[in-house]
Amino acid sequence: MISLPRSSGILLHPTSLPGPYGIGDLGAGAYRFVDWLEAHGQSIWQVLPLGPTSYGDSPYQTLSAFAGNSNLISLDLLVQDGLLQRSDLADAPPFPRGKVDYGWIIPYHNQKLSTAWHNFMMGNHPVLRREYKQFLDAHHFWLEDFALFIALKRQHQLRPWVEWESELRQRESTAITNAAARLAEHIDSERFRQWLFHRQWTALKAYAGSKGIRLFGDLPIFVAHDSADVWAHQHEYCLDDSGNPTVIAGVPPDYFSPTGQRWGNPLYRWDVMHSNGYSWWIERIKSLLNLVDYIRIDHFRGFEAYWEIPASEPTAVKGQWVKGPGAAFFEAIQSALGELPIIAEDLGVITAGVEKLRDDFALPGMKVLQFAWSDPANPFLPHNHTVNCIVYTGTHDNNTTRGWWENEVGERTHSFVKDYLGQDVHDIVWTLARVGMRSPARVFIMPLQDVLGLGANARMNTPGASAGNWTWRFTESALTHPGKDALLHITRLYQRHPDQQAQTDMTNANA
């Protein structure tokens, strides 16, 4: 069982941080947020996947399972490093403060990172050059394929790799060698950006650790079809001769959608992965554990059985459950990496087999309070919680708690909440926060939107919606919102404050 003391934290993706360049980044705003977490008794910062996003801007459909999102690189920190001048940033346009406009910020950030690359190549930076070389050596497994993949995408006007010339699509050795030579400068630029991201994130992680803040990362079980991973490891995916998926991932009809969710990710050839000892997965998890302290595996149930949809189907309705790799997968990961600091996202259609797989490896599961209010046997109600789980008011896929209460549920749910608690509900946000905080679960987490008492317009993602997701940001003044005081109070009241945990540990040690 992984070591998780009684504690609490906040779910917030870095893109939602405040800052002057249109998107949250790994600079001053991130450090101030860490300080805010510490000051208000929190010891966990949970983020969404950190990879480079593509069409749709979803962090769950990235161009690489290993690379970082270069839009998160702090331009101000590059000034401190001497890779940009303050004057280089004087032309920052009036980006919107309360949301991310990806179409506006991406070209701006790309321009500034290109300037930083030019300055790095032309300037005298011996210390930075040594660090850069060390990074290249340490990340060779994935970095070379990714950098070439991105360089080729830019050459092909960002078209998916299945639309490239057949020799590049099929990675013929002569074509790959020639492309690497022809695009050498572009490839170097991509390596440089990944170094900057990892350098800044590693520094932020160290700072968070010094403040007692643990980072919870997020690992989607499936990867995007248009990614360096699928292009470089085609034999490990269910693809046809042209590289297109034959079957794809998703989930059947559920709470979120009457036609299910057709994610479109190619499915793994688990037999092939098993035969090579799950080497790609071992590298993937090891790489992420360099960036975070714990990993939430999104769609954990897919390791026991996954919903297979023929790629020709327009919805997820006509699919079938197919057995996943099961215990053999986690045994291989555990053998290679030791104790598994993994949290199982065990939401949706959960069977006894999924629960057994989770419990056999003592992985904490998830309880979402917004899903709790059907009947007394509901496993998400606090009296049914186990110690080894993580409780949320809601996740990135849920409405905010206020938006949920006001727009998604009616009198029946309102009455059940009132009956369960034995009192009227005057503020649903802090009502659910108290319910979660006093749960026996080891960890309680709430999205920052709930701390700020925000409504539906602050929702991060609506599953199945094609637009309007992943854009929410808060402004600097939000961190003075009185919700911070309520958060600190109930954190202490229900003994989740790190000072109280340290006291408990000392008492147990002296017993």
Q: How far is CA 139 from CA 229, 240, 273, in A?
A: 14, 30, 21
pTM above 0.75, yes or no: yes
Residue 329, helix vs strand vs coil: helix
Nearest alpha carbon to residue 273 among 189, 332, 347, 337: 332
Q: How far apart are CA 475 and CA 26, in angstroms?
A: 15
Residue 448, helix vs strand vs coil: helix
* CA dihedral of 126, 132, 137, 142, whole degrees rounded to 10: -170
- Taken in order of first residue, the domains within the chain and their CATH numbers are 21-217 (3.20.20.80), 233-364 (no CATH), 373-494 (no CATH)
Q: How far apart are CA 234 and CA 80, in angstroms?
A: 41
Whole-number pLDDT of residue 1 = 58
Is 76 a known active-site residue? no
Q: Are strands 365-368 and 389-392 parallel, antiparallel or unpaired?
A: parallel
- The active-site residue out of 218, 226, 236, 298 is 298
Predicted confidence pLDDT, tens digits, the chain (511 residues)? 577 899 999 999 999 999 999 999 999 999 999 999 999 999 999 999 999 999 899 999 999 999 999 999 999 999 999 999 999 999 999 999 999 999 999 999 999 999 999 999 998 999 999 999 999 999 999 999 999 999 999 999 999 999 999 999 999 999 999 999 999 999 999 999 999 999 999 999 999 999 999 999 999 999 999 999 999 999 999 999 999 999 999 998 876 678 988 999 999 999 999 999 999 999 999 999 999 999 999 999 999 999 999 999 999 999 999 999 999 999 999 999 999 999 999 998 899 999 999 999 999 999 999 999 999 999 999 999 999 999 999 999 999 999 999 999 999 999 999 999 999 999 999 999 999 999 999 999 999 999 999 999 999 999 878 888 999 999 999 999 999 999 999 999 999 999 987 666 655 555 5
Whole-number pLDDT of residue 511 = 52
Q: How far is CA 328 from CA 10, 282, 332, in A?
A: 33, 13, 6
- The active-site residue out of 25, 145, 218, 345 is 345
Number of C-beta neighbours around residue 291 at 10 A: 18
Q: Residue 45 is which amino acid?
A: W
Residue 339 CB-half CA count within 13 A: 8
User: 376: buried, middle or exposed (CB in 10 Å: 19+, 13-18, 0-12)?
Assistant: exposed
* CA dihedral of 448, 451, 457, 463, whole degrees rounded to 10: 50
Residue owning tokens 């057994």: 356
Work out whether the CA dihedral 327, 328, 329, 333 comes out positive or negative: positive
Q: How far apart are CA 480 and CA 186, in angstroms?
A: 43
Whole-number pLDDT of residue 2 = 73
DSSP conformation letters of 63-76: S-SS---GGGS-HH
* CB contact at 8 A, 194 and 23: no
Q: How far apart are CA 179 and CA 173, in angstroms?
A: 10
Residue 161 CB-half CA count within 13 A: 28
Is 505 a known active-site residue? no
Residue owning tokens 């999102």: 69
Token pair for 7: 């504690």
Number of C-beta neighbours around residue 157 at 10 A: 7
Give the residues across from 367 on adjacent strands: 391
- The active-site residue out of 229, 304, 346, 397 is 397
Is 450 a known active-site residue? no
Residue owning tokens 């960002």: 158
* CA dihedral of 10, 14, 18, 24, whole degrees rounded to 10: -170
Whole-number pLDDT of residue 348 = 82
Whole-number pLDDT of residue 508 = 56
Nearest alpha carbon to residue 446 among 4, 7, 39, 3: 7
